[in-house]
Amino acid sequence: MITDKETYLDIIKNGNLVGVPPEQMLLHGPTKRYVDKYLWHSPNKGIVARYSPTERDVEDHFGIFRGVDQVEAFAQASTVSCATFLECRKLNCTPAELKEMFIPAFISIGNVNFYNYLEYGDTFVCLGNITFYKWRQMACNGRIYKVPRGFDLDSYFSDFTEERLLKYDISKDFIQVAELFDITGRAIKIELFKKPE
């Protein structure tokens, strides 16, 4: 945990999300937070994050992590995390302070194609690249890959690059589970979000 605000602001201003606990960036949860760790992050380009579905995540669904939750996991890892980081950088504030002003909302989901499945015990990575960011709205494309058990993801992604992200240049041992397009979210002012009809 990052307990010192100045340290956190310095990370936001000069660093990236690697090493930041997801619970300090994604302020909902814990049961519906689908990011365990940020593995690679280039603030204006994209991100790689991992998650392992829990027993609760697959309960009442054949032991399978739902497709709709894959979309949610990808959105949390990419659009929400990356946009929150950039907005905090812009406003020089922490996510907790941002939460007092804005609510992250889905705007739209483009095409999503599924190629495989994820079950309890699996670990997957979301590779998201930012295709649009303006006026607090962000869109990301990307892929979800199932990772071989025991694979050292920290080491593998320690020297990852933007070029490799855009080409999805990763190990052949990873199994593609899904490809997602135009996953779009926007930080909406709380007073507008709760505005009566």
Partner 1 sequence: MERQEILDGLIEVLKTIRTIDPERLVGVTEETDFLTDLSTPSTELINIAAKVEHKFDIEFDDDDIDHMGSKVKDIIDLIIMVKARGENE
In the complex with partner 1, the residue whose CB is nearer, 23 or 182, is 182
Q: Reduced to 3 states, what is the DSSP secondary structure of residue 74?
A: helix
Tell the smallest beta-carbon distance from residue 180 to partner 1 (Å). 15
CB contact burial 128-155 (16+ within 10 A = b; e otherwise): bbbbebeebbbbbbbbbbbbeeeeebee
| β 123-134/102-108 pair status | unpaired
* DSSP labels, 35-48: -SEEEEEETTTEEE
d(CA 38, CA 40) in angstroms, rounded, equals 6
In the complex with partner 1, the residue whose CB is nearer, 59 or 197, is 197
Q: Which residue ranges make up the site for partner 1 (CB under 8 A)?
A: 107-108, 132, 134-137, 139, 182, 184, 188-189, 192
In the complex with partner 1, the residue whose CB is nearer, 115 or 132, is 132
In the complex with partner 1, the residue whose CB is nearer, 92 or 158, is 92
**Is 64 in contact with 37 (CB distance < 8 Å)?**
no
Tell the smallest beta-carbon distance from residue 187 to partner 1 (Å). 9
Tell the smallest beta-carbon distance from residue 116 to partner 1 (Å). 28
Tell the smallest beta-carbon distance from residue 141 to partner 1 (Å). 14
For the record, the structure tokens of 68 come out as 């709709």
In the complex with partner 1, the residue whose CB is nearer, 18 or 93, is 93
Q: Where are the beta strands (DSSP E) in 80-136?
A: 102-108, 112-114, 123-134
Tell the smallest beta-carbon distance from residue 140 to partner 1 (Å). 13
